[in-house]
Amino acid sequence: MYAVFEIGSKQYKVKEGDRIRVEKLDVAEGAKVEFDRVLLLSDDALSLGKPYVDGAKVVCVAEAQGKHKKVIVYKFKSKKGFHKKKGHRQPFTALKIEKIER
């Protein structure tokens, strides 16, 4: 059984027991989070939502809050002596999928 659900403007395909990293959510570590914006649900039959499947939800546990690896942005103009270096670390929330309910 798997489901495709939406968080913000991004969609994730998950099944029970999966671990995913999503954009930072304002939840404590160990807290349960439910998402009811399920777009597609597949168990015995395929259920498509219009736009969401009625009564379906994905139950997750927030495992950790963290930051991804640093991305370096380096600007350089030749023969001008111009160098600019910036770094960015995007925050995330790690979720473990506990249950997919119909």
Dump pLDDT digits (tens) for 46-94. Answer: 989 899 999 999 999 999 999 999 999 999 999 999 999 999 999 999 9
Helix H or strand E encompassing 51: none
Task: Kindly report the pTM of this predicted structure.
Answer: 0.82
Q: Which domain holds residue 12?
A: 2-101
DSSP code, position 1: -
Query: Distances from the Cα of 101 to the Cαs of 7, 32, 67, 68, in angstroms?
Result: 17, 14, 30, 30
For the chain, the domain total comes to: 1
